Structure formats: structure tokens, C-alpha cells
Amino acid sequence: MTPSASSSTGPVIEAHSIVKKFGGAIAVDDVSIEVYPGEIHAVVGENGAGKSTLMRVLAGVHQQDSGSVIVDGVKLEGGAKESIDLGVSLVHQELSLVPEMTVAENILLGSAPTTLGFTNFSEMKNIARSALEEIGVSVDLDERISRLSVALRQFVEIARAVARKPKVLILDEPTATLTPAETDYLLEMLQRLAGRGMAIVYISHRIPEVFRICHNVTILRDGKRVSVTAVAESTPEGVVDQMVGRELKKDLGSHRDATPSDVVLKAEGIRAPSVDDVDLEVRAGEIVGLGGLVGAGRTEIVRAIIGADARKSGRVTITVDGKTRIISSYQSAIRAGVGYIPEERRVDGLALTMTVAENINLPNRKELSTAGFQQTKKIRTFAQRLAEQVGLRPPEIKREAGQYSGGNQQKIVIAKWLGRRPAVMVLDEPTRGVDVGAKAEIHRLIKELADQGTAVLIVSSDLPELLELSDTIHVVRDGKIQGSIGHQDATEKAVMSLASGEKLVGA
Amino acid sequence: MAKESLTEQIALTEVVAQEAPKKTSGVGLWLTQNGVFLFLVVLAVFAAFFVNGFGSLDNVTNILNRAVPLGIVAVGMTFVVISGNYLDLSVVAQVATSGVIFLAVGSEYGLGVAALAATGAAILYGLVNGLAVGLFKANAVIVTLATTYIGLGLLRYFSGGSIFFGPPDGPMDVFGSGKVGPVPYSAFVFLGLTLVLSLVLTRTNFGFLVKSFGVNERATRLGGVNTDMVIVGAFLVTALAAMIAGFVFAAFSNTAVSTMAQGFDFKALGAIIIGGTSVFGGRGSVLRTLLGVIFVSVLDNVLTLLGFTFGFQQLALGVLILLAVTLDVLSRKLGQQ
């Protein structure tokens, strides 16, 4: 059926009519899938379509309510441990490494070789080394995970799965945190592994990746399987249409015409750890993008500018209505009208077990209270208006933020700051791990903000997003702005050639 | 951007984002969150019928007299627990310091001066604990362990380790033995303070920030909050409550000694946990702590009346804390589904 999936042997993993419910909600509804040795099989769908749940059922992490999973002819019944023993390895969406342990320890976590009950460290290193060699990544085995870049951590995570010698390797959004060059590397690695007969199940939001490396694609929507086809016989547009359930409008991602006016945010000579003498200006109504590879220092630059991290030197000012204020601390930045959407929304952006209203109240509490006492009604009206404005679905402000999907959570983070009519909005990876629909809405919100005169500074590893939104793109490498590109000259190629220039992996 | 395309986008995302967030409700969840209090009602009803002397007015007074000092400490300490800083061990030293100041300084210079001195000492405790934990990011357990020993050491040095007595029928004694019906004056202080602190926690920005910090410290800081001061505030609330507890406790027996509040630290924490406030911060309430304190005190009383020894009271408290923690774990599991 596909070039490298040999039809002479049967599927290495097959699932029949899987149903998985959480409480009353059906996450996976009667889905079947089979994957052959050497095949790269994509599973695509919007957030909440049931991809991750299906993968966890395949890996034995979740127990299905009905249906069966068969690995190499053996029916899977015994949970995650048995699943691993049978040769199914899952690379989780959230990084599950222990930051304070070494690379080798993490790769063998839970399966460390022992001699008379003591950990056999030399054997452990041998296994870890060969797993890393298998995926073609070189990194110091004794380095602590906390000292590695996000990309390298992702590769260590994959090495950990590969060290178990799996027949089936499942990857859940492995490229979400990677830059294009790192993504290329990962995709080539997967092709090599498949070439050696490994079956790979690949979940991604990024359709071009699917068309680059996958043989077949299963499309899920609302927990149901919409279709399964050979990639060679379909088109990216067709796949997206089936994911979304209707045709995606083409003009969705057009660049807006900007009319920037006065300089609002001005940063001069910023130095901080991983930030090397950065000058930067953002005008009212302008969107300035920071491009570059992961670890280039973009997050560090914006955090140093707004005072979220300490600066070694440099001067930052914000000018609104002719009044210039010096930004000396994060709190002074907030007072001067900065809104900040951090990179790690679940850790830095939201209090997940608090309600939507409480989260929105946090940066607006002073305006929503009288003499320190909260105005409950005012808070409710305010939060409700913002929840609707950002398109939170459903817009129920008494729900806990953690009950919403990634895209909706990001809308809550944006809503927190929107109500302040920020003079400067700083967004770090605003649509990472967010589905296409929510992404379009978040882009609309960012453009509207700029149209209303906010100075927007955005960090994104998503090149099409960066190109669509930015009026000016500064490309960062080694904590320095290497070059700046105006919107009319901006192409993916132009950004990447400034951003790269170094070998990708290999510390 | 054209108007049509905006509506198109909104229509599009309507289709995309159909996944409904999960709902948390149900009898099971309610039981895990409030089961402890059902247990309290059952215990009280059982005791009223079957335990001799439980329902007498004297016994009600007795329960309240024992519950109030611990309760005042516990409602104050609830702020530190909800902020995610585990507990304030130094309440043991704070209560004793306040008690000794009120009797020693009070009989010498009058209650007004004593109140000023006790408040000063409380603010000092709150600031030292709060700044060390908030500003210098030190661990609350270790910091307050240190201030406990420093406080008790200073107190013993200055007091010579002696017991202080108030003059009979002095203002302290009058307050300490005063009652409205079976209810001692101090119980009204406890109730009043509980209501005020409950209002502070649920209705003020400060209370909101204490809870928010307990849920997610980093997100709270990035919300533009001076989180250091929030922590200082939580420790100040605890210290001021402990100061009041010291006054009430010293007044009740008209005596004070540096060892008077021994065991208050973990017993108050126990009552807070039994009330259902999470030791991991972010969840809980002052009113729940009030109920937790009543539970612990009623249980102690019933066991005493039934002739069980102190050892059994400790055992029962331990079992109860385990039960409360189990319910808390269950409630979080049910809440996630």
C-alpha cells in the first residue's frame, strides 16, 4: 500500500474500534488504526480531536472502554509496562525528563541496568550511548538535563524511547518546540528509523511535515476517525479541510497594512545572561517579530527588556502620550502598560486551578476593587466581556482555567492583559501547541491590538506566523540581533539564513 | 482586514473548538470535600445522647475555653498554609511571648502598654518570618523553626523561665473568666476574628493574592504582583492572630509561661488540614479552619469524658488527619475527572 510498508507482513500494531470515555465525555469514539513495520503513520486532528488519548491507549497508559489493541499478534491487556515490553514506546508531548539527573540516567530512567541490585553505571552509559548513536545525536552523557536546550531535551526524550528497542515508536507533537532546522533533523531521523523497520506513529499539527515524511495519514475529528488515506493520494488542503470539517478560508493569514506612529518601547544596550547588547524599538501600531532558533536568546531578550529577568546593563523606556517612563523592574513595566504572554503558559501564564474570572482579575485587580476590597460584580462583568472578546469557548468564567484546551487557555492569558488596553504587548510563542482554529483567532487578536495602537513585540519559532504578523523581523542568534528584515523583504529563507550558521545538534 | 473574513474566522473556530471542558460536580465530590463535617455532626449527636455530661452548659464552656486559643492561632495560620508555605512553627513562641508580655508588662505598666509591646513583638515575628521566606526565598519550615528557638530562647532569658501570674480580679482575670451564658468572652473574640479574616481572604485583593500565590507563584508574579509583600502579609496575619491567642490564653488561666503553647504548631496545622485546607496551598478557607478546630476540640472532649487518656486523643487526631488527607486526595481526583 505504501513504498516502504511491506504488504507481505502484517501490521505490527493494530487497534480495533477503540472507545475511550472520560466521565461523560467521549474522547475516542470507535477508532481503528493499523501500522506496518517501516511505515510512518501520521495522526492529525485539532486539539481535543482525541489524538493524544488514542496514542495513550496504544501505549497502554489509558485503558480503553471497549475495543482492542494488538501488538505483533498479542492482545494488549496489562497496561503501560506490558506495552513497553511488547515494544511500544511513547514519546510524550510534555517533556518528562528529570532536570536534575544526567542524560544517561534519564535515558535509562525506570529501566536502569543493575548488578546485584546496584545500578551498573558503565552498562547504563553504554546503552544510553548506543541509543543516542542510533538517532544520530551527540550530547555529553554526564550533562544534567537542566543544562540542555529545549531541542536537545526533546532528542534525549526520543533516545529514551529508542533505548527500549521498540517496534512501534509513538511521537506526540515532537516538533512543537523545535525550530525549522531542528525539525528537519528530527524528520530525517524518523525516516532513518523507519528505514530500519521501525513503525512510527506521528502526531503533528504541522501538515507540511506530514507530507514530507509520512506514508499514511489518519484524520480524527471530535474523537472519530474521519478518514485514513495514503499521503501520496491526498493534498495538504484536503487534509486540513477534513480536520476542520469545512474549507479553510485562504485569506486567513494575510498581512495587515500597518501604520506605525511614535516609538513606544525603546530598549538600548541591553545585556543579560544570553543577551548581548540588544537595541530595539517598537512603535505604536507596529508588530515587531523576533526570529531565530530555539536557544538563540529571544525569550531572554524580551524578559530582560520588560524586567522579568535582571539586566546587567541597558536602558528601557516606554513612552505613552508624550510621557516617558524608565522600566527598571517587571512591576514598573506592568505599571507603564506592558502586557506579557509568557512562553510557558501552563507554568507562568495561568493559575490552572483558579477560575477564568480569577485569572483575568489578577493583573486588573486594582481597577476592579475599591479600597482593597474586590468588586465581585465588576470582576464578573469585566471577565465575561473579555472572555467573549477573545472567543473563549465556552465563555464560562467560573470554570477552572485548567479545564480548557491549550488554545482556549492561551485566549485566557491574552484576556488577562487585553482589558488593560496595553501600550506594549509582549508575546512569547503565542500559538505553540494551539490548534489551527484558535491560532487564527489569536492572530486576529494580535492584529486588532496593533490596529488599536498597541506596540507589539512577538517571539515565534513558527516562521509562517512570524512572516504573517510582523512588520519588522529582527533575527537573533547568540543573544544578538544579526539582522532586521522589513515585511516586504521577509521570506522564510531570509530569516533562516540569518538565524542559522551553526551546526544544529551536538554539544 | 475585511469584516467578512473576521466573521468567517469566528465561524470557523466555532467548528474547531467544540471540545467542551469537563465538568466537576457530583455527590462523591461533595462528600470528599465536606465528609469530615458530616462526621463532626454524627460525633456531636452521638455524644449528646450517649456521653454523660457532654451536653451540659459547663462542658460547652469547657470545650470553648480549650478551643479558642488554638482556634485563633489556626485561623491566622490558614493564610500561611494557603500561600503554599506549609506552616508557621514559631506560633509556639509567638503565643507565649504575647502571653508573658500581657501578664508581666500588663501588671507593671497597664494593659495599653502591654498591648503595644505585644503588637510590636508580633509585627517583628511577622516581618522576620515573612521577609526571610518572601524576599530571600528561604524555606518556611526552616525559617520558622529558627525563629521558634530564637523567640523561646529570648523569652526564657528575659523571663528567667518563671511563671507569671496576673493580679486576681485584674482586667486580664475579669476578661478570662467572663461569660455570656455558657459562652466565654474569648469565644466572641475568636468568632469575630474568624469572620474578619474570612472576609479578608475571600473579599480583598490581599486575600486573593495569597490564594493566587499558593496556586501558582510564577504566574502571580508575572501578573505584576509584588509577591514578596504578599508573603510578608500572610506571616503578619499569622503573627497578629497568635498575639491575640496569647492574650486570650493568658487571660483564661491568668498565668503565662514560655512553654504555654507547646504543641500549638502542629495541632493548629492538624485542625487546618482537617478543615479541608490543602497543605499544598491555593485551596481552603478560614471558616473551614473554624470547623476543623471545633472538630478537634469536641473529639478531645468526648474522649476525655469517656475516660480515654491523652494518648488516645493523640491517636484519634492522627487518624483524623489521615482521613482528611485521604479525602483531599480523593476530592482532587474526582475534581479532575
Cell of A374: 474586590
Q: Which of B263, B266, B265, B257 is nearest to B152 (CA)?
A: B257
Q: Do B337 and A358 touch (CB under 8 A)?
A: no
- Report the pLDDT value the prediction gives residue B19, as an integer from 0 to 100: 38
pLDDT digits (tens, 9 = 90+) for A45-60: 876 688 888 998 999 8
Of all residues in chain B, the one with the smallest CA distance to A250 is B5
Helices H / strands E in chain B, number of each: 14, 4
Choose from A365, A431, A452 for mutation: most chain B CBs within 10 A: A365
CA distance A333 to A327: 5
For A309, nearest residue in chain B (alpha carbons) = B222
Q: Comparing C-alpha atoms, which of B114, B80, B78 is closest to residue B98? A: B114
Whether A25 and B10 lie within 8 Å, measured CB to CB: no
Instruction: Tell me if B293 sits within 8 A of B129, measured CB to CB.
Output: no
Task: Kindly compute the dihedral angle of the four CA atoms of residues B178, B181, B187, B193, in this order, to the nearest 10 degrees.
Answer: -100
Q: What's the rounded Cα separation, in Å, for the pair B267 and B273?
A: 10
CA A33 – CA A199 distance, rounded (Å)? 13
Nearby residues of A57 by Cβ (< 8 Å), 6 or more positions away: A15, A18, A20, A28, A63, A64, A69
Q: How far apart are CA B251 and CA B245, in angstroms?
A: 10
How near does any CA of chain A get to the CA of B300, in Å?
Answer: 35
Position A274: which residue type? Answer: S
**In terms of CA atoms, which chain B residue is nearest residue A329?**
B224
Please judge whether A441 and B13 are an interchain contact, meaning their C-beta atoms are less than 8 angstroms apart. yes
State the maximum Cα–Cα separation within chain A, in Å, rounded to a whole number. Answer: 77
Strands B164-165 and B255-256 come out as antiparallel
Buried b (16+ CB within 10 A) or exposed e, A265-294: bbbeebebebbbebebbbbbbbbbbbbbbb
Interface-testing mutation among B222, B226, B280, with chain A (most A C-beta atoms within 10 A) = B222
- Residue A93 grid coordinates: 508531548
Stretch (H or E) spanning A123:
helix A121-135
B237 vs B240: CA distance, rounded Å:
5
Residue type, A121: F
Nearest Cα to A53, choosing from A86, A23, A20? A20
Query: Backbone phi, then psi, for A266, in 5-degree steps?
Result: -135, 120
Query: Minimal Cα–Cα distance from A484 to chain B, Å?
Result: 26
How buried is residue A102: exposed, middle or buried, by Cβ count under 10 Å (0-12/13-18/19+)?
A: buried
> Which grid cell sits at A258?
500597518
Contact assignment for A349 to B222 by CB distance below 8 Å: yes
Cα(A163)–Cα(A152) distance, integer angstroms: 16
Query: Which residue from A minimizes the CA distance to B200?
Result: A373
Report the Cα A501 to chain-centroid distance in Å: 24
Residues of chain B found within 8 Å of residue A444, distances taken between Cβ atoms: 1, 6, 9
- E-assigned strands of chain B? 164-165, 179-180, 183-184, 255-256
Please give the full DSSP string across A275-321, using - where no structure is assigned. EEEEEEEEETT-EEEEEE-TTSSHHHHHHHHTTSS--SEEEEEEEET
Q: Is the ipTM of this complex over 0.90?
A: no
C-alpha cell at A464: 509562517
pLDDT tens for each residue of A424-442: 999 999 998 787 788 889 9
Three-state secondary structure readout of A232-269: HHCCHHHHHHHHHCCCCCHHHHCCCCCCCCCEEEEEEE
| C-alpha triplet A109, A113, A117: angle, nearest 5° | 110
Residue A505: HSE in the Cβ half-sphere, 13 Å Cα cutoff: 25
Q: How far is B336 from chain A (nearest CA, A)?
A: 8
Q: Which of B120, B83, B303 is nearest to B201 (CA)?
A: B83
Across the interface, which of A334, A403, A408 has its CB nearest the CB of B224?
A334
Q: Over the stretch A170-220, which tens digit does the pLDDT of each residue have?
A: 998 888 777 778 888 999 999 999 999 999 999 987 788 899 999 999 999
Amino acid, res. A177: T
Instruction: Give rounded-to-5 percent helix, strand, coil for chain B.
Output: 75, 5, 20
| Chain B residues within 8 angstroms (CB to CB) of chain A | 1-2, 5-6, 8-10, 12-24, 203-206, 208-209, 211-212, 215-216, 218-226, 282-283, 337
> What is the pLDDT tens value at each position of chain B, 337 positions in all?
333 333 333 333 333 333 334 444 578 888 888 888 888 999 999 999 999 999 999 999 999 999 999 999 999 999 999 999 999 999 999 999 999 999 999 989 999 999 999 999 999 999 999 999 999 999 999 999 999 999 999 999 998 889 999 999 999 999 999 999 999 999 999 999 999 999 999 999 999 999 999 999 999 999 999 999 999 999 999 999 999 999 999 999 999 999 999 999 999 999 999 999 988 899 999 999 999 999 999 999 999 999 998 899 899 999 999 988 888 888 877 765 5
* Residue from the list B13, B203, B221 with its beta carbon closest to the beta carbon of A437: B13
Instruction: List the one residue out of B263, B261, B254, B264 whose CA is nearest residue B104.
Output: B254
Q: How many CB atoms lie within 10 A of CB A132?
A: 23
Exposure string for B53-92, b = 16+ CB within 10 A, e = fewer:
ebeeeebbbbbbbbbbbbbbbbbbbbbbbbbbbbbbbbbb
Q: What local confidence, expressed as pLDDT, does residue B78 receive?
A: 98
CA distances to B174, B187, B252, B253, B262 from B248, in Å: 11, 9, 6, 9, 16
- Residues B91 and A177: their CA atoms lie apart, in Å, by 47
Contact B242, B122 (CB under 8 A): yes
| Most B CBs within 10 Å, among A22, A255, A373, to test the B interface | A373
A27, containing H or E segment = strand A25-35
**pLDDT tens track, chain A, 507 positions:** 444 444 457 899 999 999 998 766 788 999 999 999 999 999 988 766 888 889 989 998 888 999 999 998 889 887 888 888 899 999 876 667 888 899 999 998 877 888 888 888 888 899 999 999 988 888 899 999 888 887 888 899 999 999 988 999 999 888 877 777 888 899 999 999 999 999 999 998 778 889 999 999 999 988 899 999 999 998 888 887 787 765 444 434 677 877 788 999 999 999 998 899 999 999 999 999 999 876 788 999 999 999 999 999 999 999 999 999 999 999 999 999 999 999 988 889 999 999 999 999 999 999 999 999 999 999 999 999 999 999 998 899 999 998 888 889 999 999 999 999 999 999 999 998 787 788 889 999 999 999 999 999 999 988 889 999 999 999 998 899 999 999 988 887 788 778 765 333 333
Pick A348's closest partner by Cβ from B204, B211, B219: B219
**Pairing between strand A168-172 and A40-44?**
unpaired
